[in-house]
Structure formats: C-alpha cells, structure tokens
Structure 1
C-alpha cells in the first residue's frame, strides 16, 4: 500500500521569507480571467509556498555543512502543493495558513504576462485512507460525514476559488489521493467497503464544484505503478475513473488529467531495467520477487499504460498526466551505476534497480529516498506518457506517518508500516524500512529532509557526474606528519589529465571527510600511530564528482590526544530480526570530531537499515560514523548520541562485547 502525505507544514514566519526576486511580480489586484487551456503548466510558473520555504530555510540554518545548507536553499525555491487536509485548513489553523493566504501570495508571485499554477490538494473525504491508519481523516464514512464534506469543505473551497480576485491564477487540484485506488485493491477490507459509496459521491461532488470554475483544473489521483500497474488492477481502475467522471454534470470533461505517485517514492524510470520482458536465468525479470509479474517498473511505464486505458474508456487523447517527483530520485552512494551481470534473477533485479526499498509496498518514510526531478512543464519523456508536468505534490520534509503512537486530535492513528522495528506480512515478512523518530503525518521531519537532499537525483546544484571527469592519478608526495589536535595534513599531486577539475572530495570509507581546491587536506578525528585509507575524487566547478577515484593512505604518528568513550548497547530480537539501540557518550575532555564507532558481531548478524549514523559492514566488523554536516558529526565532551539500526540474525543474537571509537577503546555501560 502507498502513502499519502498530509497538510502543509505548520506556519513559521511571515510571507517575506526567502522567495527569490525572480518570483516577485505584480500586485494582488484582480487579474484578467484565465482561459481554460489544454496544459495549464505549459509556459507557466508554479507557486512557491512561503511557509514551506521558511521551514527549509530554518533547517539550512541548523546544519553545520555550508555545502549542504546551500543545497537546501536551492531546494526551497521549488514549488510545492498546498494541502487542504481538514476543514480548518481552509481558513487556517495552528498548523498552517489558510487558502486565501496562499492565493494572495500567488498573486504576488505572479509575473506580468506569465501564467502561474497553484497546486492544491483536495484531501478530506469521509472515511479517508480506509486501508491504512497514518492519514485517517476527521470525517466519518457516514451520510452525516458526506454532508459535512460537501457543505463545510468543498463548498467553501469552491467559493474562495471562484472569487474574481483569483481568476488570473491557474489552480491545479489533485483530487483525493488514495481514494478511488483503494476501491480497486482494498475493497475486501471492511472499512473500504463502508467508505466506497462516499468516495464515489464525494469525488463526483468535488469534480462538479471545481470544474464549474474556469481557471480550475481537476487531476484525479491515480496511485502509482507499484499499486495499480498489474493489468488486473489497471483496467478496472481506468473503468472506475471513467464511471465516476460520467456521473458528473460535465461527464468526462470534468477531468483534465490524472496525477500519479502522489507522496510516493516509485522511481520515474528504472534506467538499468528498461525491458520488463527481458529474461534472466530463463525467466522474465518482471517475474522477480520485487516486481511480482508487474509490467510497469516505474512511473513513465505507468502513465503510458494508464493513458492508453483511459482513452479506451472514452477519455480524450489530450488527457494530461502529472508525476509527483518530490521524493523518487533514489540517488546517493547506493544508487546503481550499471546493469547487474548476475545470472540469478532476483540478484540481477536487486542489483540493477534504483529503487532501494526491500519491497514496493514499503510506503512510509522510506530510508534512502532522495528528491527527484525538479518541477517543470512538458518534460522530456516518452510521448506515450502524455506528461503535462513533473510536480512536487508532496512537500519534501513532511512525514508520512509517526513511527510510534502519538496522541492527536486529527484522527491520525499509528500504522505499523511506519514502525522501523515492524516485520510486516504485507512486505513478505520483511522490515518496513521506515525512518525512525518520525512525527505525525504532515509534520516537518527534518532528518528525513536532510536525507532527501543528500540523496537527490539529479543532484542538487549541478546535474549528475559526467563521464569526462577523471579522478586524480596515484598521489605522490604524501606527508604523514604528526598528529596535532587529532588532525593530520595529507598531500597529493593532482593529475594534469583532469581538464575542468577545480577541486577534490576526500572520503574516509564512504563518509565525505572534506573538500579541497588545493593539493592538501587536513583530516580530523585521527588517532596516533594508526593507518588510514582515503579516496580522492575529482570535482568540477558545478560540484559534479567523478565516479572513479584514487587511493590515499596515511599512517599517523605522535601522541594520542586526551579522550574516552562509553557505549551502552541493547537489542530487541524477534524471529530472525532485531533492533539495536546504542548510546555513545564522549567521556573525554576534547570533542569527538568525525567519530568512527567499530565493533564485531559474534553470530553472523547483518546490519540492514540504520539511523543517526552512516552504517557499513565488512564481514563481522560493523562501522558507524557521524553523519557529515549533521548535528551528531561531533560529540562534545560529556555529550551522548543515540544511534541504532535494524538487523537480521540466524537464531542467535549475542551482543558485541568490545567497542572502539576512532581507535580508542570504549568502556561498556
């Protein structure tokens, strides 16, 4: 099952924050009426939500890595949707500004002579989110709930949108995420059976009221490829969409298009799995356990598939498609760079797919996700996909659901799919892969936002690593030097082959240790008389980093600086899985900068997903390092960081008995 985001984040600062000057335009006076066009995004800009931009700016001020902060500030200039997730959101509540606030600001952002699209999410059906729990809504699936939906929710929204003051804006309404798709795959669930008639009538009513406003464009939510891609789901879905549309006053014309991947992380495309009919080991790759015979591996596949079915049901060929790309980039170090050479079907798929989830049904705050393509109109894509635009319906940094039970007055409940310790039968008895410490759905989730920025693909601020950047030649002139304040100078000779290269990134293991534009670098957190290995990657002026690298080794000398550490390790085991929680305390008198925790497993345990540290494993040895640029990159004297991971075992799960941090042996306690 998939997920659903929520409302826009809580209001933080006034409108004036952080909107680029290029977005400032005409005043909020009434504009000429916008004609209804085929693709509202073509030739238009999109609304940048100042409340969300302020939250991103706040996050940027709290990170210690200037490069990361700069990327965040680039992200905040992107347009995101405004969510009307309950009745009070229309006028504004303690969690956010109201609809008129955003429309008035959209008038301010609108440039003279250039259309502007406001992405608006209609999301408050009776019995909302009938199959999951994290995004349950305020209205019951009853006749009374439907009456309130019509009179207290849709009618006031329609009245505001119909105000002549806003007739110069283009309003693209995403209609009720996850509602009609649930009636295809989850109708056997009692709560979905109860909600079904209210979903149909509620969507019909919303389409009627909004289509009557000429500058409003209705896009029905159409799930994504990992939900409806199978033929026995896709064909009934297209028929249901057509059946509901035909009940409206304008019939099929009440629908301008469909939006897929709302708040989800399904990739735009799987570049190393382009042919679902390809066979490996005598079996088609679509039969692998990850795809379960689904022909549609990604959203470009699904939009093309769905569009053809919609046209067959009577929708016009001009029906446009939107794809939410806010969290489906799947970049970072774990992203594959080539097709697998394995002859084992499942290994081939798992090594080739860019979607790093362990199951396509893992929807809640998935670890490892990254920001995807930036919003833009008529993007380059197969013509069969009929794309109007890439959009960010889910504002990056908003939680999908709480990882623990959090009491609230919004109707949201604890869904175990958001619990990183839960082994889910829906996922083939695997862990959910959800991020820990998540707040309620729709609330700002800063650590996840940082991860989304780090794992963005295309990378933030300058494309993807080009193939013509060559790594430095084997370094020479290495100077080990002496350890002073746990730092050591490293020197290498850049290669004359690196045309266009202006700097280098230096890594210790998989952790970025720093950046240099010269032929030397100072590494911190090293221990005296210890051998270290680094890698150096070329970097151009745009920030692109080469795929190839050169090795750099150093053995330090000198006297170990004062310091000490204490580790408290505990594990909660079940079946063949466990959750490890670690409290790492700096008991020394100097900060633990760029710390590196190591220990060995005794029973063949394997680390799967982790949090608050960068985790790796080589044989029995596990390594966790502070996340560069984050709050825990340095541990002050006397301070403690809480880190951990999910793992698997074969029946015995003995806790490690020895720990070391950056070469220092830690006490246990």
Structure 2
C-alpha cells in the first residue's frame, strides 16, 4: 500500500479581508484579550500584501479580462506568512520579515474586530526527511537543534511577545510535514536520524509559543491520503499526544490541528460520500485509487482524527483547520454525478473529483484548482469540529522544482516534481507534476493561472456569492413509518444561492439524496430508533448546516439475538466535562448484529458527541446504535468493540449501573 508523504510549501489563510477598503489606525499596542477557544470566530484575517502584489502583477499580465477579474478577487484573500528559514525572521530576498507583517496586520485590524495572523513555523533540523524539494537549512544534529532553538524559535517568540502586538491573534501552524513522517517513513534512514530532533523541536516550539497568551498553536496533521488508514491514524494520534504530554502545559499547549497543507486532497468527495459502501459486494474503499483508506477527503479525516485525539486525552475544545487553498478540483474534468459503472475502479475514477492519477502525486499537480475561500467556523461538518477553512499554502507558490536548480536554501531536486518521471511510488505512472516549476516556495505563475481557472467553488466576482452557504432546511417531519422504512419531509431552503438538492443523513451516515423536499429511507431494522438530519446543497458545492434532528422508531418487533453481552465503562473527568469509554463484548455464541446499547445516567449528565456508534439521548436515557454497514455493525462471538463519547456533568458523575443491548441485560466489568 503506497502511503507517500506529500509536499507542503508556502502559505495562506482566513476570512476574506480586502486590502484597499480597510479603515486604518496608528499601529500601537492594543489591550490583550483572553485566550479564546476559536481564534477565528468573529475575526478577520491578515492579507499578506507581498503575496497580493504577486497576484496583482499576474492579473496585469493576462489577456483575458474575466480571468484577471477573478485574480483580483483572489488577491483579497488572507494567506499565511512562512518563516521557512532563519533569515525570514528579519527578511531576505524572498520577502519582508516578521515585524513587517505584524505591523501591516495592525494597520489592517479594524477597531472592535479581532484579526488573526496565520504564521507557519517551518525550520526543523533535518526538515522534510523523506522528500527532497523542501529540505531545510539545519542538519539533524545536536548543533542543528541548538540553532533551531536559539536562532529560530527564540527570536520569533521574542517578536511575538512584544506588547505592541498583543492585540493580534497569532495562529501558528507548527512544522508541516514533520511528525507525520515519523509515522509512515520511520524506516527511511534520514527520518530515523531526524526523529528525536522533530520531537524535541516541536516540543520546544509549543512551549515557547504557548507562553505568549495571544498565540494559538495548531500542529500539522498531514491529510486523508497520508494518514487516513487506521494503522496510520491511530499511531499518529498517539504520537501527537506523546509529544504534547512532554510540554510544560501538556494538552493546553495545543489549540488544534491543521490538515491538507502538504497536499491537495479534496474537502469532500460529493459523489463518494460513504467509504463503507459496496459495489457488487466489494467495498469501494478497496479500489486502486483509495487502497482501503477509509478517509476519502478532509472532512472524513478531520472527523476521524478528532475522535482519535479525544480518546488520547486531548480536550473536546480541540479545533481543526483545513487548508483549502488548492484542493478545489474544478474545471471541465470535474464529475457532476456518481458513476453508473459496475466496474469498481471505473466507478471510483468516474465519480471522484480528485483528478490525479494517484493520491501520492503531491508536487504541483496538473488540473488542481483553488478550493473553498477562507472562512471561520464553517458549517456542515459537525464531526470535524472546524475552527476555520484557511489558506496556509498560498496559491501560486511552488511545491518544488521540476528540474535540478542550484540554491543556497538546502532544497534538492525531487523526482516527484519532474513531469517526465515514471514513479514506482505511483504505480509506475507519470507524476502528473506541472512543468517549468521553480524551487519550493517561489512564485509559480502558470500554476496560479491554472488554480484560478479550475477553482471550485468557482470564483464569482467581488461579492463572492459562491462562498455563501444555503440556509438550513427546517420542519423535518416523519410520514409513513413501517418495519423497514421511514418517509421524511421538510421545508425547502430559501436563500439567494439557489438550492439544487438535499442530502439526508441517518446519524452521521449519508442515507441518500433528493432533488425535492421528501425522501424515503429504506432497509432499516424493525423496532429500532433512528435519527435523521437534512442538509441543503447548491450547484457551487456549498452545503448548509444540518437541520434539526428527528428521532424516529420503526414499527414491528424483533427478537433479541441469542446469548449475552458484557460492558466495561470508564470515565475521565475534568471540570464540568468528561470522556466516557465503553468496551462492548459479545459473550454469546452467535453474532450480535445491528446492536443497540442503552443505559441511564443518574446525575443529569449529557452526551455531547460520540464515536464508533450513532449516539442519542432522551432525558436520562442514552442510546448508542451500530452504524449500518460499518466495521462494527456486527460483533462476532467473543469480540469487543470500543465506543465512546464526550459529555458534560455538574458535579457528581456516577457511572451507569445497568446496560442493555437489543433488549438484553449485560453484565458489567
């Protein structure tokens, strides 16, 4: 199974903030504010004037007025500032230094509105140990680590701690492409050497930056096509937790994680919404393109990762950022519907919006487009716990050179950036990289033009209507209910975007789509409770928040499966929150299919969100049901599944005293 790390480079982020229409005020110290849960909520974000000037220059060189207009819309978007070597702190030939950007951010900040500056910390010793295009200046040695601390992190922290900047919110992306390499490339000699310096360097950066109240730390967490496999995802969450536990503040030193900076994985695969589906008895995730990876996109990966992080001890307030700067995959090649082919690989290839030949093709991929514009607290992805869509990698900055270019930045020629190279890592296919690319991080104008042309959602002009999500469907109601089906209706979404359809979810699983305000869910189990929500979607790919949930119980009777069950329950409490963990074991001699676990809380505890089951609560009674078609929908005799949830309590937090599964009382312990 090919699980190749991808490339990262340059940067970007946030909620659109126009360069020309911002009221200015004299840059002076602003009163420090409390450290908040989500720094992006209610905030604008810093628009890098250097990057904006490159975009404006490109717009002036194109002959197509419509394309130039789209570029000028994009130049108002916020992007991250990269500290990719020591000289970047004070400024070098590639751009101005850190104080320049912070001073410009003070000028952009509007009175009464917070402003986020997205900053990338990116100069670990032995940086980018697996690939070559973004190798750094510091060697993976004790001397390299000492320089990283004293010449790189310490000066950055000193500048950020200046009281002049305490009114800015600094969101720091911590070392892209680093810790994930220790999961998938630990057998590579250079990664083995770099591993202890990665761990210590990330710890040191977290300690120094967390000590500054207006700095928010987000650790790079690769993307779905790198860590989505369970045998990568679980060790990654453990590694993140192990490193963070070594910091002075522990889990409090991290505000969240950022994904997709090092590749172009789509936010969603709209025509492949459920990786558990089968075609002719074959799981669609077994197709050649996905190689059994359960996470087809970044919405999948962030929800998956969040649950694993919580299980490792990270607080429920942990937020996620998704870099959407170049994962739009629009243009004429974008599919418009799910394939009707009965051949598995053809079905996947005709349905996926990711048009690369392989998910490992990371370097300046041809056909890519700008993705969702930066915005805070995006709706429609409740399991992902998103703080924002951001542009950490600025569109138009190269991933790596397509030929060998001598340089003094430590960057080497990686054949994955060579469009003529047939790569064994990509199934002996051409890399699909763009030709004539400069060194990583340098302006790559032809690629920028392609990203603008292929943007999805399409760039709709200065008002950017394509960024507006439809309003939430309302009035969800149940009509006919039988043993195995439920008819649903709801009120149409009305807004100025133009709703084209609705997706119906059973718990967190897509039950189906409808072009009208009605839907019938079939294939259900008799005498079983289900929860449904509806989301509106439009032609530009925007998705509304979920409607209010509707709980429906099918009619009929079912016979409890034979045998017995055992439940082991434990809780990890803090302040008014807690994590509940349950081990459900089938102690019978027959499979436990489509199980439904119930228990009561005695102290008014409330379930907030859970994992590995569909969770609901009515009064004191909590219900966890198997997700149809999921890996744990049937529990074999003697087998155990781990499920859990985050909850709140107000003082006493006694464990439940009784559990039942599908009508049978379970033993405890």
TM range (shorter): 0.5 to 0.7
Show the counterpart of 2:276. 277
Show the counterpart of 2:378. 379
Note closer, same or farther for the CA distance 1:339–1:280 as it changes in structure 2 (3 Å cut).
Answer: same
2:10–2:394 Cα contact (<8 Å) kept: no
CA distance in 2, matches of 1:136, 1:389: 29
Q: How far 1:295 moved relative to its partner? A: 0.5
Q: How far 1:48 moved relative to its partner? A: 0.1
CA distance in 1, matches of 2:348, 2:420: 25
CA distance in 2, matches of 1:101, 1:212: 22
Show the counterpart of 1:312. 311
Show the counterpart of 2:19. 20
CA distance in 2, matches of 1:388, 1:25: 27
How do residues 219-230 of structure 1 correspond to structure 2 at under 5 angstroms?
219-230=218-229
How do residues 273-352 of structure 1 correspond to structure 2 at under 5 angstroms?
273-352=272-351
Show the counterpart of 1:128. 127
So what's the TM-score if we normalise by structure 1? 0.68
Q: How far 1:464 moved relative to its partner? A: 6.1
1:121–1:175 Cα contact (<8 Å) kept: yes
Show the counterpart of 1:399. 398
2:216–2:254 Cα contact (<8 Å) kept: yes
Show the counterpart of 1:356. 355
1:25–1:108 Cα contact (<8 Å) kept: yes
Deviations 1:611-647 (A, max 9, x none): xxxxxxxxxxxxxxxxxxxxxxxxxxxxxxxxxxxxx
Show the counterpart of 2:409. 410
Classify the secondary structure of the residue corresponding to 1:303: helix
Deviations 1:179-201 (A, max 9, x none): 00000000000000000000000
Give the number of equivalent residue pairs.
462
Classify the secondary structure of the residue corresponding to 2:21: helix
Show the counterpart of 1:231. 230
1:324–1:393 Cα contact (<8 Å) kept: yes
Show the counterpart of 1:106. 105
1:336–1:353 Cα contact (<8 Å) kept: yes
CA distance in 1, matches of 2:90, 2:349: 47
Show the counterpart of 1:550. none
1:263–1:393 Cα contact (<8 Å) kept: no
CA distance in 1, matches of 2:264, 2:228: 15
Classify the secondary structure of the residue corresponding to 1:22: coil
Stretches of 4+ aligned residues off by more than 2 angstroms: 1-9, 18-27, 462-466
Show the counterpart of 1:6. 9
CA distance in 1, matches of 2:237, 2:113: 34
Q: How far 1:26 moved relative to its partner? A: 2.6
Show the counterpart of 2:472. none
Q: How far 1:277 moved relative to its partner? A: 1.2
CA distance in 1, matches of 2:93, 2:144: 23
2:11–2:120 Cα contact (<8 Å) kept: no
Show the counterpart of 2:457. 458
Q: How far 1:223 moved relative to its partner? A: 0.2
In the alignment, does 2:57 pair up with 1:58?
A: yes
Classify the secondary structure of the residue corresponding to 1:202: helix
Q: How far 1:282 moved relative to its partner? A: 1.9
In the alignment, does 2:164 pair up with 1:172?
A: no
What stretches of structure 2 of length at least 5 have no aligned partner? 469-495, 497-538, 541-669
Q: How far 1:382 moved relative to its partner? A: 2.0
How do residues 604-615 of structure 1 correspond to structure 2 at under 5 angstroms?
none
Q: How far 1:338 moved relative to its partner? A: 0.2
Q: How far 1:22 moved relative to its partner? A: 3.1
Q: How far 1:279 moved relative to its partner? A: 1.0
Show the counterpart of 1:447. 446
How do residues 366-515 of structure 1 correspond to structure 2 at under 5 angstroms?
366-461=365-460, 462=464
CA distance in 2, matches of 1:8, 1:52: 10
What stretches of structure 1 of length at least 5 have no aligned partner? 10-17, 467-499, 501-542, 545-669
